[in-house]
Structure 1
Amino acid sequence: MRLTPFRSCLFLLASLAALPAMAVEPPQANPTPRLLEPSLHLPKSGKPGEMRVALTFDACMGEADQRILSVLIDEKIPATIFVTARWLRHNPQTVALLQAHPDQFELENHGENHVPAVDVPVKIYGIAAAGSPQAVEQEVAGGARAMAASGLAAPHWFRGSTAKYDASAMAQIRAMGFRIAGYSLNGDGGSLLGASVAEKRIAAAKDGDVVLSHINQPTHAAGEGVARGILALKRRGVTLVKLSDVVDLSDQTLTH
């Protein structure tokens, strides 16, 4: 049978309808990076009965928590404090006070604008990450430049906002000459814990712990607990140190 043009068109459409449907892949969004949260521990002191704990604090922005700072100064307790450029600009008097106790306090790099050092666009705890290698470099180098402008010693350590990174950003930061400062004990839950919980966490620190707390939230209840927890460690006879007091620190990367 000879097909007319009209019948040929109908035949073709019917043939196509009989073919199996082809799946159409939707466009892929940027995948969520695998975030890493480095931990940091002190080596054993090697002295019978001695327990060592390092106190580290983040000064992200805002003011200084004098409840914590006064305990550190009055009790002559050493600490490592990670400062942002934003915090340095707004706290010159506290910076001068810390500089007046160079054997007790060391200041390290917490970045320029307190953005997570992750080189792809993502939000961590609601905070937008740097988002590119160039922005990671600006965050890290900008923090170091602000420290130099404030008359502080060149930093050796970097701890980014949220303390989370991706692998490529970690490699980039290390290539810039910084060690990445993890921790082993979260003392105040980002300064959001209640005073009693923060106190118990810090007071229970074990030999080799590196404690992370915040020293920039004077209106949060956690600061009161941090101060009491530090005093509890001292009463226990724990040797409290800053990071530079320890020659060899053991660090590893935890994945989340």
Structure 2
Amino acid sequence: MRLILKSILAAGLLVSAIPAGHAVPLLEPSLRLKPHEDAATPRVALTLDACGGQTDNRILSALVENRIPATIFVTGKWLKRNAAALEIMKAHPDLFELENHGGHHVPAVDTPRKIYGISTAGSPDAVTAEVEEGAEALAKNGQPAPKWFRGATAQYSPSAIALIRKLGFKIAGYSLNGDGGSLLSARETARRVAAAKDGDVIIAHINQPTHAAGEGLVKGLLELKAKGVNFVRLDDADGEGTDDTTD
């Protein structure tokens, strides 16, 4: 009995020790393309995160060579380090739509916590700075004003979603996680991507050139292309997101 009471007391102390802000559940919104007139031709939106680091040229080259459009979510950090890849994307404006992934790849959560080991923005002002600095980085590199935002980890506090929407951005969720944060094997990544259905929004990464997932992503995309899938960018199709992220 004493052990049970001690366990209950310890659990209560642990709960009370959690900061109040942490009680707010995080949201990981989904996004799908709205139905279109030509139902016989499946449409899929490929979205790639360029969080930081380098560029996976296996993916970039395959997109250019096979004329596969993509929406690339870039951070200010990535833009500073990948001038050559950026020039390739600029040279193919019909293929690549560059959107806002934040200034420093900080999760858009306005209370302090960690997600996958990454510290969140932690306050409304810091969320605003992350969003606005990402947009400014794109402008400095000659890109049109972004319309979409995707935060690091793709998780948000509800109040941060409202704040980002007030800043004028739609928030890009997804319906199919293609590469598990670029940590999946080539085989599993290819399997997931090749299984995409009409209306899916794929999320994957283009900033991990040493990971096997990049090879699998290319294979899966080519399988979809061979099936007759029509790839579209987010700006070229209406998307419907959950959690008030697009309406």
Match of residue 82, structure 1, among 73, 81, 86: 73
Question: Is 1:101 aligned to 2:92, yes or no?
Answer: yes
What's 1:132 paired with? 123
Identify which of 66, 73, 86 aligns with 2:57.
66
- Where does structure 2 lack aligned partners over 5 or more consecutive residues? 1-8
State the Cα distance separating 1:250 from its structure 2 match: 1.0
Indicate the residue corresponding to 2:185 in structure 1: 194
For 2:164, the aligned partner's letter is I
How many Å apart are 1:46 and its aligned residue?
A: 2.2
Question: Does the alignment pair 1:117 with 2:117?
Answer: no
* Cα deviation, residue 92, structure 1: 0.8
Superposition TM-score, scaled by structure 2 size:
0.90
In structure 2, what is the equivalent of residue 162 of structure 1? 153
1:229 aligns with: 220
Matched residue SS, 2:133: helix
Distance 1:224 1:253 in 2: 33
The answer on 1:30 being equivalent to 2:38 is no
Per-residue deviation at 1:239? 0.7
Aligned to 1:19: none
CA distance in 1, matches of 2:70, 2:119: 29
Aligned partner letter, 1:116? P
Pick one of 231, 236, 246 that aligns with 1:240. 231
Provide the residue aligned with 1:252 in structure 2. 242
Q: Give the TM-score normalised by structure 1.
A: 0.87
2:35 to 44, 47, 51: 44
Does the 8 Å CA contact 1:45/1:51 hold for their aligned counterparts? no
CA–CA distance in structure 2, aligned partners of residues 211 and 180 of structure 1: 14
Q: How far does residue 48 in structure 1 lie from its aligned partner after superposition?
A: 4.0
Separation (CA, whole Å) in 2 of partners of 1:111 and 1:47: 35
Report the Cα distance in structure 1 between the residues aligned to 2:239 and 2:205, rounded to whole angstroms.
22
Alpha-carbon distance in structure 2 between the residues aligned to 1:151 and 1:92: 12
Query: CA RMSD for the aligned pairs?
Result: 1.5
Q: Structure 2 counterpart of 1:89, which letter?
A: K
Matching residue of 1:20: none
Give the corresponding residue for 1:91. Answer: 82
What are the Cα deviations for residues 54-110 of structure 1, in whole angstroms up to 9, with x where unaligned?
Answer: 000000001110111111000111100000000000001111110011111100000
Which AA in structure 2 matches 1:236? K
Distance 1:238 1:181 in 2: 21
What letter corresponds to residue 206 of structure 1 in structure 2?
Answer: K
- In structure 1, stretches of 5+ residues that fail to align are 1-22
Equivalent-residue separation in structure 1 for 2:172 and 2:218 (angstroms):
22
Please state how far the C-alpha of 1:29 moved relative to its aligned partner. Answer: 3.8
Q: Which amino acid in structure 2 is aligned with residue 158 of structure 1?
A: F
Q: Secondary structure at the match of 2:41?
A: coil
For residues 251 and 117 of structure 1, what CA distance do their matches in structure 2 show?
17
Cross-structure match for 1:11: none
Q: Deviations over 1:159-217 (max 9, x none)?
A: 00000000000000000000000000000000000000000000000110000000000
Match of 1:178 among 169, 173, 184: 169
CA distance in 2, matches of 1:130, 1:48: 41
Task: Look up the SS of the partner of 1:57 in the other structure.
Answer: strand
Counting aligned pairs with the same residue, the percent is 57
Tell me, in whole angstroms, the C-alpha distance in 1 between the residues paired with 2:154 and 2:57. 24
Secondary structure of the structure 1 residue equivalent to 2:242: strand
